[in-house]
Amino acid sequence: MNVTLDQIQAPIAAEMEEFEKKFRQSMQTKQLLLDKIMGYIVKRKGKQIRPMFVFFTAKISGGDPLPEASFRGAALIELLHTATLVHDDVVDESNYRRGFFSINALWKNKIAVLVGDYLLARGLQLALENDDFDLLKIVNNAVRELSEGELLQIEKARRLDITEDVYFDIIRQKTASLIASCCAVGAASTGASKEVIERARLFGEKVGMAFQIKDDLFDFGTDEVGKPVGIDIKEKKMTLPLIYALQQADWLTKRRVIFNVKNNDGRKDRVQAVIDFVKKSGGLQYAIGVMERYRDEALTILRTFPASPSRNSLEQLINYTIEREK
Protein backbone atom coordinates (compact mmCIF):
# COMPACT_ATOMS: atom_id res chain seq x y z
CA MET A 1 0.00 0.00 0.00
CA ASN A 2 1.36 3.38 -0.98
CA VAL A 3 -0.42 5.59 1.55
CA THR A 4 1.05 5.84 5.08
CA LEU A 5 -0.72 6.39 8.38
CA ASP A 6 0.86 9.87 8.62
CA GLN A 7 -0.57 10.80 5.22
CA ILE A 8 -4.01 9.49 6.20
CA GLN A 9 -3.84 11.51 9.43
CA ALA A 10 -2.95 14.77 7.64
CA PRO A 11 -6.40 16.49 7.87
CA ILE A 12 -6.38 16.04 11.68
CA ALA A 13 -2.62 16.20 12.37
CA ALA A 14 -2.90 19.41 14.41
CA GLU A 15 -5.87 18.04 16.39
CA MET A 16 -4.01 14.78 17.14
CA GLU A 17 -1.03 16.76 18.44
CA GLU A 18 -3.31 18.87 20.62
CA PHE A 19 -5.12 15.75 21.85
CA GLU A 20 -1.85 14.10 22.88
CA LYS A 21 -0.99 17.07 25.12
CA LYS A 22 -4.47 17.20 26.64
CA PHE A 23 -4.58 13.44 27.19
CA ARG A 24 -1.18 13.45 28.87
CA GLN A 25 -2.41 16.21 31.21
CA SER A 26 -5.59 14.27 31.99
CA MET A 27 -3.46 11.29 33.10
CA GLN A 28 -1.36 13.26 35.61
CA THR A 29 -1.88 12.63 39.33
CA LYS A 30 -0.21 13.67 42.58
CA GLN A 31 0.07 10.04 43.76
CA LEU A 32 3.68 9.14 42.82
CA LEU A 33 3.28 5.45 41.98
CA LEU A 34 0.09 6.10 40.01
CA ASP A 35 1.72 9.00 38.15
CA LYS A 36 4.64 6.75 37.20
CA ILE A 37 2.26 4.09 35.84
CA MET A 38 0.16 6.70 33.97
CA GLY A 39 3.37 7.98 32.35
CA TYR A 40 4.22 4.43 31.28
CA ILE A 41 0.75 3.94 29.75
CA VAL A 42 0.99 7.20 27.79
CA LYS A 43 4.45 6.30 26.43
CA ARG A 44 3.38 2.93 25.04
CA LYS A 45 0.39 4.21 23.08
CA GLY A 46 -0.24 2.49 19.74
CA LYS A 47 -1.33 3.90 16.40
CA GLN A 48 -4.12 5.93 18.11
CA ILE A 49 -6.73 4.65 15.69
CA ARG A 50 -9.58 5.35 18.15
CA PRO A 51 -8.99 9.15 18.49
CA MET A 52 -8.57 9.29 14.71
CA PHE A 53 -12.04 7.82 14.22
CA VAL A 54 -13.50 10.29 16.73
CA PHE A 55 -11.93 13.32 15.03
CA PHE A 56 -12.58 12.26 11.44
CA THR A 57 -16.22 11.46 12.20
CA ALA A 58 -16.62 14.75 14.07
CA LYS A 59 -15.28 16.62 11.03
CA ILE A 60 -17.53 14.87 8.49
CA SER A 61 -20.50 15.50 10.82
CA GLY A 62 -19.96 19.26 10.69
CA GLY A 63 -17.40 19.82 13.45
CA ASP A 64 -14.76 21.88 11.68
CA PRO A 65 -13.00 23.33 13.64
CA LEU A 66 -13.43 20.62 16.26
CA PRO A 67 -15.25 21.62 19.47
CA GLU A 68 -13.70 20.86 22.88
CA ALA A 69 -16.29 18.10 23.33
CA SER A 70 -14.57 16.10 20.55
CA PHE A 71 -11.29 16.10 22.49
CA ARG A 72 -13.08 15.10 25.70
CA GLY A 73 -14.94 12.35 23.85
CA ALA A 74 -11.69 10.92 22.47
CA ALA A 75 -10.08 11.08 25.94
CA LEU A 76 -13.11 9.39 27.51
CA ILE A 77 -12.88 6.49 25.05
CA GLU A 78 -9.11 6.15 25.56
CA LEU A 79 -9.43 6.16 29.37
CA LEU A 80 -12.25 3.63 29.54
CA HIS A 81 -10.78 1.39 26.84
CA THR A 82 -7.33 1.45 28.48
CA ALA A 83 -9.01 0.43 31.76
CA THR A 84 -10.53 -2.63 30.05
CA LEU A 85 -7.15 -3.58 28.50
CA VAL A 86 -5.36 -3.35 31.87
CA HIS A 87 -8.01 -5.60 33.41
CA ASP A 88 -7.90 -7.96 30.39
CA ASP A 89 -4.17 -8.51 30.88
CA VAL A 90 -4.82 -9.54 34.48
CA VAL A 91 -7.61 -11.94 33.43
CA ASP A 92 -5.49 -13.42 30.61
CA GLU A 93 -2.34 -13.51 32.77
CA SER A 94 -0.62 -11.71 29.90
CA ASN A 95 2.84 -10.23 30.43
CA TYR A 96 2.97 -8.24 27.20
CA ARG A 97 0.83 -5.80 25.24
CA ARG A 98 1.98 -4.41 21.88
CA GLY A 99 5.55 -5.53 22.59
CA PHE A 100 5.70 -3.76 25.97
CA PHE A 101 5.46 -5.30 29.43
CA SER A 102 1.87 -5.20 30.72
CA ILE A 103 1.01 -3.28 33.91
CA ASN A 104 0.44 -6.54 35.83
CA ALA A 105 3.84 -7.88 34.69
CA LEU A 106 5.65 -4.83 36.07
CA TRP A 107 3.55 -3.96 39.11
CA LYS A 108 1.60 -7.20 39.85
CA ASN A 109 -2.13 -7.95 39.63
CA LYS A 110 -3.41 -6.01 42.64
CA ILE A 111 -1.92 -2.72 41.42
CA ALA A 112 -3.03 -3.42 37.83
CA VAL A 113 -6.65 -3.91 38.92
CA LEU A 114 -6.55 -0.68 40.94
CA VAL A 115 -4.99 1.20 38.00
CA GLY A 116 -7.81 -0.05 35.76
CA ASP A 117 -10.32 1.16 38.36
CA TYR A 118 -8.59 4.56 38.49
CA LEU A 119 -8.71 4.94 34.68
CA LEU A 120 -12.41 4.08 34.72
CA ALA A 121 -13.08 6.64 37.49
CA ARG A 122 -10.99 9.27 35.69
CA GLY A 123 -13.01 8.80 32.51
CA LEU A 124 -16.29 9.10 34.40
CA GLN A 125 -15.01 12.22 36.19
CA LEU A 126 -13.98 13.85 32.89
CA ALA A 127 -17.45 13.32 31.43
CA LEU A 128 -19.38 14.36 34.55
CA GLU A 129 -17.34 17.53 35.16
CA ASN A 130 -18.30 18.76 31.69
CA ASP A 131 -21.90 17.45 31.64
CA ASP A 132 -21.05 15.20 28.67
CA PHE A 133 -23.89 12.83 29.52
CA ASP A 134 -24.65 11.99 25.87
CA LEU A 135 -21.01 11.00 25.24
CA LEU A 136 -20.84 9.03 28.50
CA LYS A 137 -23.99 7.11 27.55
CA ILE A 138 -22.46 6.07 24.21
CA VAL A 139 -19.12 4.98 25.71
CA ASN A 140 -20.72 3.26 28.72
CA ASN A 141 -22.82 1.18 26.33
CA ALA A 142 -19.67 0.10 24.47
CA VAL A 143 -17.87 -0.94 27.68
CA ARG A 144 -20.93 -2.97 28.72
CA GLU A 145 -20.98 -4.70 25.34
CA LEU A 146 -17.25 -5.41 25.53
CA SER A 147 -17.76 -7.22 28.84
CA GLU A 148 -20.78 -9.17 27.59
CA GLY A 149 -18.94 -10.21 24.41
CA GLU A 150 -15.92 -11.40 26.38
CA LEU A 151 -18.11 -13.48 28.73
CA LEU A 152 -20.07 -14.94 25.80
CA GLN A 153 -16.82 -16.00 24.13
CA ILE A 154 -15.55 -17.64 27.34
CA GLU A 155 -18.85 -19.46 27.79
CA LYS A 156 -18.87 -20.79 24.22
CA ALA A 157 -15.14 -21.65 24.18
CA ARG A 158 -15.76 -24.37 26.76
CA ARG A 159 -17.91 -26.36 24.33
CA LEU A 160 -16.53 -25.06 21.00
CA ASP A 161 -20.10 -24.89 19.67
CA ILE A 162 -19.95 -21.39 18.19
CA THR A 163 -22.11 -20.85 15.11
CA GLU A 164 -21.57 -18.01 12.64
CA ASP A 165 -24.42 -16.05 14.23
CA VAL A 166 -22.89 -16.36 17.72
CA TYR A 167 -19.44 -15.48 16.33
CA PHE A 168 -20.83 -12.28 14.74
CA ASP A 169 -22.52 -11.40 18.05
CA ILE A 170 -19.22 -11.84 19.88
CA ILE A 171 -17.12 -9.70 17.53
CA ARG A 172 -19.85 -7.05 17.27
CA GLN A 173 -19.72 -6.69 21.05
CA LYS A 174 -15.97 -7.21 21.60
CA THR A 175 -14.52 -5.19 18.73
CA ALA A 176 -17.13 -3.44 16.61
CA SER A 177 -18.90 -1.77 19.57
CA LEU A 178 -15.75 0.19 20.39
CA ILE A 179 -15.18 1.55 16.86
CA ALA A 180 -18.93 2.24 16.64
CA SER A 181 -18.75 4.25 19.88
CA CYS A 182 -15.76 6.26 18.54
CA CYS A 183 -17.76 7.27 15.48
CA ALA A 184 -20.96 7.95 17.44
CA VAL A 185 -19.02 10.07 19.96
CA GLY A 186 -17.38 12.00 17.11
CA ALA A 187 -20.77 12.85 15.61
CA ALA A 188 -22.45 13.52 18.98
CA SER A 189 -19.64 15.85 20.11
CA THR A 190 -20.53 18.25 17.29
CA GLY A 191 -24.23 18.40 18.25
CA ALA A 192 -25.25 16.32 15.22
CA SER A 193 -28.81 14.98 14.88
CA LYS A 194 -29.80 11.52 16.17
CA GLU A 195 -30.01 10.30 12.57
CA VAL A 196 -26.41 11.40 11.83
CA ILE A 197 -25.13 9.91 15.12
CA GLU A 198 -26.81 6.56 14.33
CA ARG A 199 -25.43 6.59 10.77
CA ALA A 200 -21.94 7.27 12.16
CA ARG A 201 -22.38 4.49 14.75
CA LEU A 202 -23.48 1.95 12.13
CA PHE A 203 -20.55 2.95 9.91
CA GLY A 204 -18.16 2.29 12.81
CA GLU A 205 -19.81 -1.05 13.60
CA LYS A 206 -19.30 -2.28 10.00
CA VAL A 207 -15.66 -1.13 10.09
CA GLY A 208 -15.12 -2.90 13.42
CA MET A 209 -16.53 -6.18 12.05
CA ALA A 210 -14.14 -6.01 9.09
CA PHE A 211 -11.21 -5.17 11.40
CA GLN A 212 -11.82 -8.21 13.61
CA ILE A 213 -12.16 -10.64 10.71
CA LYS A 214 -8.83 -9.29 9.40
CA ASP A 215 -7.27 -10.11 12.79
CA ASP A 216 -8.76 -13.61 12.62
CA LEU A 217 -7.16 -14.14 9.22
CA PHE A 218 -3.68 -13.34 10.56
CA ASP A 219 -3.90 -16.50 12.68
CA PHE A 220 -3.82 -18.73 9.60
CA GLY A 221 -0.82 -17.08 7.95
CA THR A 222 -0.83 -16.91 4.18
CA ASP A 223 1.04 -14.55 1.86
CA GLU A 224 -2.10 -12.44 1.64
CA VAL A 225 -2.77 -12.08 5.34
CA GLY A 226 0.52 -12.26 7.19
CA LYS A 227 2.69 -14.61 9.23
CA PRO A 228 1.34 -17.91 10.61
CA VAL A 229 0.98 -17.80 14.38
CA GLY A 230 -1.94 -20.01 15.41
CA ILE A 231 -2.46 -18.07 18.66
CA ASP A 232 -6.28 -18.19 18.42
CA ILE A 233 -6.17 -21.96 17.89
CA LYS A 234 -3.80 -22.42 20.85
CA GLU A 235 -6.25 -20.39 22.96
CA LYS A 236 -9.19 -22.48 21.66
CA LYS A 237 -10.88 -19.49 20.06
CA MET A 238 -13.36 -20.27 17.29
CA THR A 239 -12.88 -17.75 14.48
CA LEU A 240 -14.78 -17.33 11.21
CA PRO A 241 -12.39 -19.29 8.92
CA LEU A 242 -12.50 -22.29 11.29
CA ILE A 243 -16.28 -22.08 11.89
CA TYR A 244 -16.93 -22.06 8.13
CA ALA A 245 -14.50 -24.93 7.48
CA LEU A 246 -16.15 -27.07 10.18
CA GLN A 247 -19.57 -26.41 8.64
CA GLN A 248 -18.33 -27.96 5.38
CA ALA A 249 -16.77 -31.04 7.02
CA ASP A 250 -18.20 -34.52 7.55
CA TRP A 251 -18.87 -35.71 11.11
CA LEU A 252 -15.60 -37.66 11.47
CA THR A 253 -13.39 -34.83 10.17
CA LYS A 254 -15.20 -32.32 12.37
CA ARG A 255 -14.64 -34.52 15.42
CA ARG A 256 -10.92 -34.86 14.66
CA VAL A 257 -10.41 -31.12 14.11
CA ILE A 258 -12.30 -30.17 17.29
CA PHE A 259 -10.19 -32.72 19.21
CA ASN A 260 -7.01 -31.00 17.90
CA VAL A 261 -8.34 -27.58 18.94
CA LYS A 262 -9.44 -28.74 22.40
CA ASN A 263 -6.29 -30.76 23.12
CA ASN A 264 -3.57 -28.90 21.22
CA ASP A 265 -1.63 -28.04 24.42
CA GLY A 266 0.45 -25.69 22.28
CA ARG A 267 1.67 -28.60 20.11
CA LYS A 268 2.78 -27.25 16.73
CA ASP A 269 1.70 -30.36 14.79
CA ARG A 270 -1.90 -30.18 16.07
CA VAL A 271 -2.13 -26.42 15.53
CA GLN A 272 -0.72 -26.81 12.01
CA ALA A 273 -3.18 -29.62 11.26
CA VAL A 274 -6.07 -27.24 12.07
CA ILE A 275 -4.53 -24.47 9.93
CA ASP A 276 -4.09 -26.88 6.97
CA PHE A 277 -7.68 -28.12 7.33
CA VAL A 278 -9.05 -24.55 7.27
CA LYS A 279 -6.99 -23.64 4.18
CA LYS A 280 -8.10 -26.75 2.26
CA SER A 281 -11.75 -26.19 3.18
CA GLY A 282 -11.89 -22.65 1.75
CA GLY A 283 -12.22 -21.04 5.19
CA LEU A 284 -9.81 -18.19 4.38
CA GLN A 285 -11.46 -17.27 1.09
CA TYR A 286 -14.88 -17.29 2.76
CA ALA A 287 -13.72 -15.04 5.63
CA ILE A 288 -11.99 -12.63 3.21
CA GLY A 289 -15.28 -12.37 1.27
CA VAL A 290 -17.24 -11.56 4.46
CA MET A 291 -14.59 -9.02 5.55
CA GLU A 292 -14.77 -7.28 2.17
CA ARG A 293 -18.58 -7.22 2.36
CA TYR A 294 -18.47 -5.42 5.71
CA ARG A 295 -15.87 -2.99 4.34
CA ASP A 296 -18.05 -2.25 1.30
CA GLU A 297 -21.12 -1.70 3.51
CA ALA A 298 -19.07 0.71 5.67
CA LEU A 299 -17.89 2.62 2.60
CA THR A 300 -21.47 2.88 1.29
CA ILE A 301 -22.56 4.51 4.58
CA LEU A 302 -19.46 6.75 4.63
CA ARG A 303 -20.28 8.09 1.17
CA THR A 304 -23.63 9.41 2.42
CA PHE A 305 -21.62 12.10 4.28
CA PRO A 306 -20.45 15.21 2.35
CA ALA A 307 -17.17 14.84 0.41
CA SER A 308 -14.18 16.26 2.30
CA PRO A 309 -10.49 15.54 3.05
CA SER A 310 -11.59 13.84 6.31
CA ARG A 311 -14.01 11.56 4.47
CA ASN A 312 -11.23 10.63 2.02
CA SER A 313 -8.91 9.88 4.94
CA LEU A 314 -11.52 7.67 6.61
CA GLU A 315 -11.83 5.69 3.39
CA GLN A 316 -8.05 5.35 3.23
CA LEU A 317 -7.91 4.35 6.91
CA ILE A 318 -10.38 1.51 6.33
CA ASN A 319 -8.43 0.20 3.34
CA TYR A 320 -5.11 0.64 5.19
CA THR A 321 -6.36 -1.54 8.03
CA ILE A 322 -7.96 -4.19 5.79
CA GLU A 323 -4.85 -4.46 3.59
CA ARG A 324 -2.23 -4.33 6.35
CA GLU A 325 0.25 -7.17 6.66
CA LYS A 326 0.74 -7.02 10.45
Quote the CA–CA distance of 60 and 65 in Å, as a whole number: 11
Quote the CA–CA distance of 324 and 5 in Å, as a whole number: 11
Quote the CA–CA distance of 74 and 51 in Å, as a whole number: 5
Quote the CA–CA distance of 223 and 297 in Å, as a whole number: 26
Helix or strand or coil: residue 214?
A: helix
What's this model's pTM, rounded to 2 decimal places?
A: 0.89
pLDDT at 99: 67
Tens digits of per-residue pLDDT, 124-133? 888 899 888 9
Rounded mean pLDDT for each run of 10 residues along the chain, 326 residues in total:
83 90 80 81 77 95 87 90 79 70 78 82 88 91 89 78 89 93 95 95 96 88 52 80 90 87 76 88 93 96 95 93 73
Within 10 angstroms of residue 110's Cβ, the number of other Cβ atoms is 10
Within 10 angstroms of residue 152's Cβ, the number of other Cβ atoms is 16
**How many domains does the chain contain in total?**
1
Helix or strand or coil: residue 97?
A: strand
Quote the CA–CA distance of 204 and 315 in Å, as a whole number: 12
* Burial of 14 per CB tally in 10 Å (0-12, 13-18, 19+): exposed
Whether residue 76 contacts residue 139, with contact meaning beta carbons closer than 8 Å, is answered with: yes
pLDDT at 228: 47
Closest C-alpha to 240, from 293, 201, 204: 293
Closest C-alpha to 116, from 78, 82, 162: 82
Across-strand partners of 96?
101
Phi then psi dihedrals of residue 240, to 5 deg:
-55, -45
Whether residue 205 contacts residue 172, with contact meaning beta carbons closer than 8 Å, is answered with: yes
CATH number at residue 119: 1.10.600.10
Whether residue 187 contacts residue 57, with contact meaning beta carbons closer than 8 Å, is answered with: yes
The domain containing residue 131 runs over which residues? 5-323
Whether residue 82 contacts residue 119, with contact meaning beta carbons closer than 8 Å, is answered with: yes
Whether residue 297 contacts residue 206, with contact meaning beta carbons closer than 8 Å, is answered with: yes
Tens digits of per-residue pLDDT, 79-93? 888 888 877 777 777
